[in-house]
């Protein structure tokens, strides 16, 4: 059987990026535990056609291919930097080009980064309702990280690491056959 596909999308243009590092960390742990094939993209990968496109057909091939990967994934990790208490406008524009049915019932890990802790609830108040519109299965644990959780653009704090482990464990509800712990119990 083919390995399930995990796609990460980091809504940042910065390189290096804390958001990308966070999405990558979640993807690595999930891949190790469930045997996903995984790929991660940021808004740089999506490229400049995004800002000019009102409709998906106006995107260039590279951007279209990334949206295709997002909508055909078996599980998605979404990461957004916090801009003015919410996700960045261009990240929302990327999501706006996805049809409502395309993310329906998809398991989605929601993550975000911010400079400090003031907007830690943006994952609950902004990202979760956005994917609620799509009727996706956002996993119960949302992961927010601030500057102090990173060293040299790598996840370095124990509380953040624990939270990532929590949400990676929650994916077992969707991928029981791929989970060696559950498979061993059968």
Which residues in this chain contact ligand FMN in the complex, by CB under 6 A?
12, 14, 17-20, 81-85, 113-116, 118-119
Q: Structure tokens of 147?
A: 């500057």
Give the count of beta carbons closer than 10 Å to the beta carbon of residue 139.
22
Q: How far is the CB of 9 from ligand FMN (least distance, A)?
A: 12
Q: Which residue is closest to ligand FMN by CB?
A: 114
Q: How far apart are CA 99 and CA 94, in angstroms?
A: 11
Going by their DSSP bridges, the two strands 154-155 and 150-151 should be labelled as antiparallel
CB 14, min distance to ligand FMN, A: 4
Q: How far is the CB of 70 from ligand FMN (least distance, A)?
A: 18
Q: Which is nearer to ligand FMN, 5 or 44 (CB)?
A: 44
Nearer to ligand FMN, 8 or 114 (CB): 114
Any residues with CB less than 8 A from the CB of 14 and at least 6 apart, and which? 20, 81
Nearer to ligand FMN, 4 or 81 (CB): 81
Closest CA to 75 of 1, 163, 9: 9
Closest approach of ligand FMN to the CB of residue 185, in Å: 38
Closer by beta carbon to ligand FMN, 57 or else 84: 84
Which residue intervals of 80-125 are DSSP H helices? 89-96, 122
């Amino acid at each position: 059987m083919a390995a399930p596909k995990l796609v990460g999308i980091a809504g940042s243009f910065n390189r290096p990026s804390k958001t990308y590092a966070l999405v990558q960390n979640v993807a690595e742990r999930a891949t190790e535990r469930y045997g996903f094939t995984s790929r991660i993209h940021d808004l740089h990968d999506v490229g400049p056609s995004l800002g000019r496109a009102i409709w998906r057909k106006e995107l260039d091939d590279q951007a279209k291919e990334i949206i295709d990967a997002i909508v055909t994934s078996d599980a998605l990790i979404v990461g957004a930097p916090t801009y003015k208490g919410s996700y960045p406008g261009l990240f929302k524009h990327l999501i706006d080009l996805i049809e409502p049915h395309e993310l329906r019932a998809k398991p989605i890990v929601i993550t975000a980064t911010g400079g400090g802790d003031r907007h830690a609830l943006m994952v609950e108040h902004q990202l979760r309702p956005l994917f609620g519109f799509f009727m996706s299965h956002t996993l119960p644990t949302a992961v927010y990280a601030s500057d102090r959780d990173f060293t040299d653009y790598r996840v370095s704090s124990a509380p953040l690491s624990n939270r990532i482990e929590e949400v990676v464990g929650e994916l077992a509800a969707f991928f029981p056959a791929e989970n060696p712990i559950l498979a061993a119990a059968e």
